A and B are shown apart, each in its own frame.
Chain A
Amino acid sequence: MNPTRREVLKDMAVTVGAVALAASGVEASAPGKKRKWGMAIDLDRCTACQACVVACRVENNVPVAGPSEIPADRGIFWMDMLAIQEGEHPEVRTQYIPTPCNHCDNAPCVKVCPVGATFQNEEGIVAQIWGRCIGCRYCTTACPYSRRYFNWTTPTFAESMKAQLNPDVATRPRGVVEKCTLCHQRIRGVKDKARNEGREIEDADVVHLTACSQACPAEAITFGDMADNDSTVSELARSPRAFRLLEELGTHPKVVYLREAKWKE
């Protein structure tokens, strides 16, 4: 007997449903589930002391531009402090915002790189391989947050600073773009450490792992696994105070900001 039209449709619906269920099930319960590193920055705690800016510079061997380059807008800041004016005179208020790379899940910079130098790694970090970058600067243009910087000159370090260069981070040559990597060298270090002790990484290992987060005296910066619902950072991301920069662009940043007052851009 030929199946009726209704039966065929029912079968199709069941099949589609089963496939969809299987697909979602795989994602939710895959062994060794993928991490998604992210950050929460509490603007109500931040005092704009810029300890994060300095710590980031030291940790990641970011060259100091100096008085000749800064006026030409050629300074490099993996972590910067934005000052945004709110309100109208005389009721003006300045909101300071520490801005690392947002590590967008849907990153515009990754899409425009013609040589695959920038990419999103398997744990959600938007990274850059310096040796592969050809310096076309498409990514600096594509980034809506201007979180990418071009090395206009050969980075130089004062003789007194050379001994403090971090051996875990390569210095970049002239002509390549550089950016925040969420201190992936520290993530690698903590992974090795945990593995040596025969355990998995816990939230406590990473909550203040990045240099900016470690340096923050107000504990305003929290780092962690966004894919883990129980991590401190996901808990903060669910807070009613949470917002993301330029959310309407659909870039899905993994850096979440927290502020009691409503944020209008």
Chain B
Amino acid sequence: MSTRNRNRLVVAGFAALALFAGGAAFAYSRYKAFMAPVPVTQPLPFNHKHHMDEKLGLTCDACHKGVNEGPHAGIPSVNTCIKLCHTDPQGTNPEEAKIREYAAKGEAIPWQQANRLPGHVYFSHVGHVKFGKMECKECHGDMKERTEPVLLSTTHRLDMDTCMECHKEKGVSNDCLQCHK
């Protein structure tokens, strides 16, 4: 092989390598952007800690009833808030009056969902909480200590490896159709 040909081959090799590296970097940045949590705004400054401390002592499934019933954890209706406590003003936060405004208008509180999974993933709360006997905080962090409303996903650390490792550890099927839809 002549030197010229060899040089050409080396240049082509480097070009291919650069192209591959560029492609990989692009794919990785897209993946990062896809996995990054999207900030949301909440209509009310809901305080989890206050609702779950010793005085009120609500458990997660008191409001997110769906965790024992089906795939979605769910969020309580404004009527539940009114019925349980908020018929009359509670506490000192002026925002609290909004609950009764929403209820009077017959509107749902427009909570924004912060924790989202990709569209091709099926996740069942009842499967993990009731059958799998997992604690909510294993994925969501300790909500009991949280005084701020949820503005950013608390579960964004979850990726497919996390799911599969845990499934493997606990002897749960890692069949693709177990979680993909």
Contacts and interface: CB of A to CB of B under 8 A. Distances in A.
B63 to A, nearest CB: 20
A192 B126 contact: yes
A71 interface: no
Contacts of A195: 131
Interface in A2-46: none
Interface of B is mostly: loop
Interface residues of B, number: 17
Given A125-B177, A184-B177, A195-B131, A130 B120 contact: yes
Contacts, number: 41
B180 A129 contact: yes
Contacts of B181: 168-170, 184-185
Given A130-B120, A131-B120, A171-B119, A196 B177 contact: no
A155 B60 CA distance: 39
B16 to A, nearest CB: 20
B122 A127 contact: no
Interface string B117-135: 0011010101100110000
B120 A121 contact: no
Given A168-B181, A169-B181, A185-B181, A129 B130 contact: no
B176 A119 contact: yes
Interface string B127-151: 1001100000000000000000000
Given A130-B120, A185-B122, A196-B126, 15 more contacts: A121-B175, A121-B177, A123-B175, A125-B177, A127-B176, A131-B120, A168-B122, A170-B181, A184-B177, A184-B181, A185-B181, A188-B124, A188-B177, A192-B124, A196-B130
7 contacts: A122-B173, A129-B120, A170-B180, A170-B181, A188-B124, A196-B126, A196-B130
